[in-house]
Amino acid sequence: MGSMERVKVPMSMLLVQTFTTGMMLLSKVVLSKGMFVFSLLAYRNAIGVLFVAPLAFSFESKIIFLININICCLIFLFYFYRVTLAMSLYYYGLKDTTAAYSSNFLNLIPIITFIIAVILGVERLRIRSSEGKIKLVGALLCVGGAVVFGVYKGKILHIWPSHQRGSFLLICSCFSYAFWFVTQVKLYKVYPSKYWGTVWTCFVGSLQTAMLGIIMNRRKEAWRLKWDLQLLTIIYSGILNTGATFCLISWAVSQRGPTYPPMFNPLSVVFTTILESFLFGQQISIGSLLGMTMIFGGLYAFLWAKRKEILMKGKTSEGDGSVAVLPVSDKD
């Protein structure tokens, strides 16, 4: 088992958080300049379709014929959570706040996803095992670090958020993201495709957001594209944050479960704060450094426990003499 093979899934999630950081910084700029949220969503998902479709035809040419009415309904529900609710609410929350402030709310997604997955039986808590205890402590430490990162600055404790409307929208977005991660498990069981699943999801999402956007704003100015930062944001978000990210997250969920990808969300807070400090002169406080330490410690504990659980599951299946489809191949 090579060292590179072991880190493929975590490295892919690290890449997703890098894409997310760039998306948040670019989106904050264009939204502050008046870009219509639903036009951004509709265009970026159309770009996502154009980017992923050639990959789907090349690597999954046969899976397209597996589509049926049940899968269509799941895809509709899947993207309703991902874009119509989660992304639109997040963009409106981002528009009312700042990139660093809104990115901190992404850290609620891991614990919300974890709780929902346990309640629905998608994820087992296994609290009696040492791995289960460490996984739970890691998740709480990671989220706790994100809270410290966001509210403790070293001298002043910001108990009440200054952006009330934006905060409410961001919290609602977190719940929608959590349901999206859990929904992916069902979708992957009936439609095991990371490419075609992404194509159909982006296509449906583009239609949903376009229709809602037209209802909300029919002015041509809201939908007109120019050769400026808005177009760059759409292309960047469409290729990296919609096309590539959807494929990587779908693959990670199939390998590690729905609670695995959102555990990396706190990293985007760290990346965003560092970049804002470097680009815009924002100060990094002692509270930020403490939060970073807790985030990295909690993330390491969670990933270690998750891997131990997977290895134990593999040994149990071998001991029973049963042939099981495990979420991780022997290469991982």
- What's the whole-number mean pLDDT along residues 124-140? 75
- What's the whole-number mean pLDDT along residues 9-37? 87
Model pLDDT for residues 227-273, shown as the tens digit of each residue: 889 899 999 988 988 788 878 887 888 777 777 787 787 777 777 77
Q: How confident is the model at residue 214 (pLDDT cuts 50, 70, 90)?
A: very high
The structure tokens 């899976």 sit at 63
Q: Report whether pLDDT(43) > 90.
A: yes
Q: Higher model confidence: residue 150 or residue 142? A: 142
Q: Report whether pLDDT(175) > 60.
A: yes
Alpha helices by DSSP H, the chain: 3-6, 8-32, 37-59, 69-79, 88-96, 99-105, 108-119, 130-151, 164-190, 196-216, 220-223, 229-236, 245-256, 266-280, 286-320
Enter the pTM of the model: 0.69
- What's the whole-number mean pLDDT along residues 60-78? 72
Q: Higher model confidence: residue 125 or residue 155? A: 125
pLDDT averaged over every residue in the chain:
75
Contact at 8 Å (CB) between 41 and 88? yes
Q: Report whether pLDDT(193) > 80.
A: no
CA distance 307 to 178: 22
| pLDDT, position 156 | 43
Tokens of 43: 């265009």
Model pLDDT for residues 98-124, shown as the tens digit of each residue: 776 777 677 677 777 777 877 777 777
| pLDDT, position 233 | 92
| pLDDT, position 178 | 79
Q: Report whether pLDDT(323) > 80.
A: no
Q: What single-letter DSSP state applies at residue 29?
A: H
Domain layout of the chain by residue ranges:
15-312
Q: Which residues face 157 on adjacent strands?
A: 152
